[in-house]
Structure 1
C-alpha cells in the first residue's frame, strides 16, 4: 500500500473536448468557475478552472495527439483524475512495488511546470490516473 501521507489530495479532474472549449465555457458561465490559466501545447489547449480545493482541467483538441485520439475513441468527457503527491519519484517506486504500471517511466514536466506521471488505466480499473508533484517555483 502507498504511504498514505504521500497523497495530499485531489489535484484536478480533467475532461477532454473538441475544438471550441464549449464545456469549459459552460462550467465558467453557469457555475462561475474562473479560468486561472490557459496553456497551449502541441495538440491541445489546457484550461484550469478553479474549484477552491482542486481544479477542473479542460483539454481542448487543437490538433493531432493524445487528446484528439481520446475524443475520437470515446467522445468528449472525463479524461483522467490527478492526485497531488509530496514526492512523485517515491510514489512511483512504491506503487510499482504493488504492481502499478506507468506510462511515464520517469516523472516529467507537465502543465504549470509541475512534475507529473500517468499510470496505465488498466492499473486503476480502466481510469487514467495522473500523479502531480507541485513545484511552487513555477
Structure 2
C-alpha cells in the first residue's frame, strides 16, 4: 500500500488509474480500493484529489501564475473541475484563497536595516565555551561535576 501511495505522491500531476496502482500493491483493483480506504481513511481518488489541491494551494501562495496554469500543472484536465474541487475542499475559490494568503510585501529598506551588522558586533558569531567543555558536559564528564 505504501508503494502505491508513494507513486501517487510522486506522480500526482499525471493521470493515474486504479488498476495501475493496484498492480503496484499486488492486489486486484477492487481489493486495492477497499484496503486503501481501510488503511488511509479515504478512497484513492479522494487522496489523489487532496494531494493535487494541497500542491495547488502552495503554488497559489508562492507564485503569481494564472489559476488555469496551476490547475493543469497539478493534474486537473479542466479549470471548472479544479475550481469546483478546490472550493469543496478548501471552502473558497482559488482566486479568493490567493487573495487571503498573499505574501506580505516587506520594503527593501527594512530588509537592509534588519540584516545590517550591529555596530560593535563581531562579524561572525563566536563560541562561548571551548568545544572540549561542551562535549564533557553532555557526556557527564569532569566538567559537569
Please indicate, yes or no, whether the TM-score normalized by the shorter chain is above 0.5. no
Greater RCO, CA 8 A, separation 6+: 1
Q: Which is helix-richer, 1 or 2?
A: 2
Q: Which is strand-richer, 1 or 2?
A: 1
State the TM-score, normalized to the length of structure 2.
Answer: 0.22
Q: Greater Rg, structure 1 or structure 2?
A: 2
